[in-house]
A and B are shown apart, each in its own frame.
Chain A
Amino acid sequence: MRLVLAEDLYLLRTGLQRLLQDHGFEVIASVDNAPELLRALVDEKPDVAIVDVRLPPTFTDEGLVAAIEARRQVPGLPVLVLSQYVEQLYARELLADRAGGVGYLLKDRVFNDDQFTDAIRAVARGGTVMDPEVVARLMTRRQRDDPLLRLTAREREVLGLMAEGRSNSAIAQRLFVSEKAVGKHCTSIFAKLGLTPSEDDNRRVLAVLAYLNS
């Protein structure tokens, strides 16, 4: 799997590069600033990109802005954004094009390399992987007047795990239920959110988006 890596801190960049190579990823470009990142993404069109939010020259949200811009030029280009912080605001911006293939994780998640590489592969496949902290913060909100109110507590739980990028079998394992039961919950969630089967490919992304926008 061809991968572009953008991280400005040398120690982290080399550490990540080694971890990724150990897991069989081919790092075709490893950059430390936003303009180079944008060029690498648009020119190389990698299978997936791993991008730090804060990059030179401004050291603000350059990485995020470059990732969104690259996806504007190359729709659906899979991008996994890493950051020391997760913000719902940024999660929404990443998901706004509704194209999927987006991940947004805290840098600590790299510690668990198996889950991390699973997340990279999920994003490369067009899935959506949101950090558990984004999901947890959504859970703290009080009930609001929105379509999610029609979901049962269990369905909300399933949707939260879906937002974290887990597959049906992973969700089933986590909730100690059968995969078939999870499938039923998913069907029910899609129906309640008004997502028709014709949108099947994208339904998980749209459901997560509805969840984040609640």
Chain B
Amino acid sequence: MADMEYRLLLTLVALTIGWILAGASMCVLTRALLMACLDQRGRALFLAGPGRLLRQAGQQVVRGVALIAVSAVYLTVFGAYFLTDQSGHANLFGATTNLGAAGWTLVTVLAVAALAAVAPRQAGYVAAIAAGGLGLYLIFVACKFPAQTYDDEWYGWIRDGVDVQGLGALGTAALTAGFILTRRTIVADIRAREAMLSARVDQLTETRAEVVDSAAAELRRLERDLHDGAQARLVALGINLRTAERLIKTSPDEATSLVAECRDTATLALSELRDLVRGIYPPVLADRGLGDAVRALALDCPVLVTTDIRLAGRPPAPVESAVYFAVAEALSNAAKHAQATSSFVRVAFADGMLRAEVHDNGIGGADPGDGTGLAGMERRLGAFDGILAVSSPVGGPTIIAIEVPCDLSSPKTSIS
């Protein structure tokens, strides 16, 4: 009976693979049907226009049908070979009954486990479909085939249509389990999506409030700086010029010294405006983008800074700005608090993620919670779903890592 064992083993393997293919195709088809009512993507597509939803669902159906075709070809070609009975008569469906109820259950469990390993998120649907399919099949077998046993062999536990009634009951149970599993999976799926969405809404509400608050605070600061600085100096300038105008004939010396004072006042006002603008949007950032802005920052830093910048284009302006100020803050902390003597900045873009790192050889101990300005930067980055992570053990070194998901625009073309 060695040939029988060999054939049976091959049959087990062949059918497991066949079941996987069939299960996967059913899964894809089911997802296509569920997409319209469940899927976040499906909902978004529906809102964008039913035509696109239909096209997408159509693609899923095509994919499912293609998978079914592959499994059909597989079962026909290999199944016909492996499942041929001893008389040489190729009888696909007849031969599979050799497996019996236990064999099919085993094959199903194997197939579900394999699919679940490949696509864990779809595992629930896979299990539901497989249980349903198994149930249908067992009922079919119970109705159709007579009993035959292999009690004297090691695989005696696999028996053919042992007990028509038992098989039928098992099939019905499996079918019921399939239904229950489907419903539970769908409900769990919806709950998971809802939880995810509500967490996202909470996060967006929080970061939006933070951004609005900090933007308002920033505007107030600008107003105050302009009011007490450049504006006041321009008023003084006007007054002094008027006085000089009056004195120019009677006491030209005094007038001259007043005009000289006016010049100094204008210089001071300009210098204050420069500082103000640097704090809002640094000129190099506006001119050249993040790469050169970070290089300029490195040149101005009291600490020796080396840079490694790999950007093929420009991130969106608000992202550039947030990352720039975060790097600036990190470098200024390195110089001021960490007593670092050298620092290294890396900026790179890959796979939809802008990453920046600032390393320094200082004394460490930086804590985003203790008002070093890093917390503010973290909030600012948070508005773009960006994160800022700080590793700064006491004694150093400090590493600050920034990640912001974004797109790059193509590089600016300039005359050359």
Which A positions have Cβ atoms within 8 angstroms of B? 34-35, 38, 53-54, 58, 60-62, 65-66, 69, 84-85, 87-90, 92, 106-108, 111-112, 137, 140-142, 144-145
How many residues on the B side are at the interface (Cβ–Cβ under 8 A)? 27
A62 to chain B: which residues have CB within 8 Å? 414-415
Q: In the complex, what distance in Å separates the CA atom of A107 from the CA atom of B302? A: 25
Fill in one digit per residue for B391-416: 1 if any A CB lies within 8 Å of its CB, else 0.
00000000000000000000010111
Within 8 A of A (CB), among B297-316: 299-304
Flag if B283 contacts A88 (CB, 8 Å).
no
Asked whether any CB of chain A lies closer than 8 Å to the CB of B267, the reply is yes
Task: From B270, B283, B300, give the contact of A108 (CB < 8 A).
Answer: B270
Instruction: Assess A88 versus B286: contact at CB under 8 Å? Given A69-B415, A69-B416, A108-B270.
Output: no
Task: From A60, A65, A141, A142, give the contact of B286 (CB < 8 A).
Answer: A60
Asked whether any CB of chain A lies closer than 8 Å to the CB of B257, the reply is no
Q: In the complex, what distance in Å separates the CA atom of A58 from the CA atom of B271? A: 25
Which B positions have Cβ atoms within 8 angstroms of A? 263, 266-267, 270-271, 274, 277-278, 283-284, 286-288, 292, 295-296, 299-304, 341, 412, 414-416
A69 to chain B: which residues have CB within 8 Å? 415-416
In the complex, what's the smallest C-beta–C-beta distance from A67 to chain B, in angstroms?
11
With A60-B412, A92-B299 already in contact, 16 other A-B pairs whose C-beta atoms are closer than 8 Å: A35-B415, A38-B415, A54-B287, A60-B287, A61-B287, A66-B415, A84-B274, A87-B284, A87-B299, A89-B299, A106-B270, A108-B270, A112-B263, A140-B302, A142-B303, A142-B341
Flag if A87 contacts B415 (CB, 8 Å).
no
Q: In the complex, what distance in Å separates the CA atom of A89 from the CA atom of B299? A: 7
Pick the 8 closest A-B CB pairs, nearest first.
A60-B287, A88-B299, A89-B296, A61-B287, A85-B283, A111-B263, A108-B267, A108-B270
Q: In the complex, what distance in Å separates the CA atom of A144 from the CA atom of B287? A: 29
A112 to chain B: which residues have CB within 8 Å? 263
B300 to chain A: which residues have CB within 8 Å? 88, 137
Task: From A35, A58, A144, give the contact of B304 (CB < 8 A).
Answer: A144
Flag if A58 contacts B303 (CB, 8 Å).
no
B274 to chain A: which residues have CB within 8 Å? 84-85
Q: In the complex, what distance in Å separates the CA atom of A90 from the CA atom of B302? A: 18
Taking each of B263, B270, B283, which has the highest tally of chain A beta carbons within 10 Å of its own beta carbon? B283
Instruction: Assess A89 versus B284: contact at CB under 8 Å? Given A111-B266, A142-B341.
Output: yes
Closest to A92 in B: B299
Q: In the complex, what distance in Å separates the CA atom of A144 from the CA atom of B283? A: 27
In the complex, what's the smallest C-beta–C-beta distance from B113 to chain A, in angstroms?
59
Flag if A108 contacts B302 (CB, 8 Å).
no
Closest to B269 in A: A108
In the complex, what's the smallest C-beta–C-beta distance from A88 to chain B, in angstroms?
4
Q: In the complex, what distance in Å separates the CA atom of A87 from the CA atom of B274? A: 12
A38 to chain B: which residues have CB within 8 Å? 415
B412 to chain A: which residues have CB within 8 Å? 58, 60
In the complex, what's the smallest C-beta–C-beta distance from A101 to chain B, in angstroms?
21
Q: What are 21 pairs between A and B in contact, CB < 8 Å?
A: A38-B415, A54-B287, A60-B287, A60-B288, A60-B412, A65-B415, A84-B274, A84-B277, A85-B278, A85-B283, A88-B300, A89-B284, A89-B296, A89-B299, A106-B270, A107-B270, A108-B270, A111-B266, A141-B302, A144-B304, A145-B304
Closest to B284 in A: A87
Flag if A84 contacts B415 (CB, 8 Å).
no
Q: In the complex, what distance in Å separates the CA atom of A90 from the CA atom of B267? A: 22
A88 to chain B: which residues have CB within 8 Å? 296, 299-300
Flag if B283 contacts A84 (CB, 8 Å).
yes
Task: From A53, A90, A108, A142, give the contact of B271 (CB < 8 A).
Answer: A108
B296 to chain A: which residues have CB within 8 Å? 87-89
A145 to chain B: which residues have CB within 8 Å? 304
In the complex, what's the smallest C-beta–C-beta distance from B313 to chain A, in angstroms?
15
Flag if B270 contacts A65 (CB, 8 Å).
no
A65 to chain B: which residues have CB within 8 Å? 414-416
